[in-house]
Structure 1
Amino acid sequence: MTALTEAQGTFTESGAHAAAARVQRDLEAAGAKGRRAAAVERPVQGWEALTASERKVARIIAEGHTNRSAADLLVVSPHTVNTHLTSVFRKLSVSSRVQLANLVRALPDD
């Protein structure tokens, strides 16, 4: 059960929501509560609302990359980058890459 719980957490943090949901169902079928409560605790707005994958995309796009060049860096499709970027814009309440870049630049260094 511990390995499944850790896998579910890793999937959730990395933005692999479908995989996280499958593991969650397996955990529930096995009688565990899983990490669903922890996922609910994440804010819906702001930088802390972003998944790890969304944060990576936000930082790369803020550096001036196109969706295609970001996709090449992350070894994903441009469509995946666009999906993450759409979520980033919504969660951060920004409507342009310039606004995103300004917001990311103002963040404290991790």
Structure 2
Amino acid sequence: MKLGFIKPVIILASIYVLIYFAFSAGVINAIIEGHDYNQAVFLPSRAVQNNYETMIGIVLLVFGFVGALIAVKAFNVEKLHEKYALLGSGFLIMMVSLIFMYKIMELKA
């Protein structure tokens, strides 16, 4: 009985998180100002953002979120080496996502 209830909730939560990440990545700015600038992947201005930068931002936010989910999964694991492996891989994925975010900001400056 719970499996039928959990599935729609997970789907709705995933859609909500993707919409939240899209707005966080600047989808409104890309829609308003970025349609004329789609010939370059990264624009050197922080005032203008094109559609490519928005999609890369959404992917990086989802990637970091997946890393956080993997790190949270470590709390329910009994074996110590599996717990450390999940924590390490989750934090590593989040760290890689943050590094890419900062590298993108360096390209924009």
TM value normalised by structure 1: 0.30
* Greater helix content: 2
Query: Considering only CA atoms, is the larger Rg found in Structure 1 or Structure 2?
Result: 2
TM value normalised by structure 2: 0.30
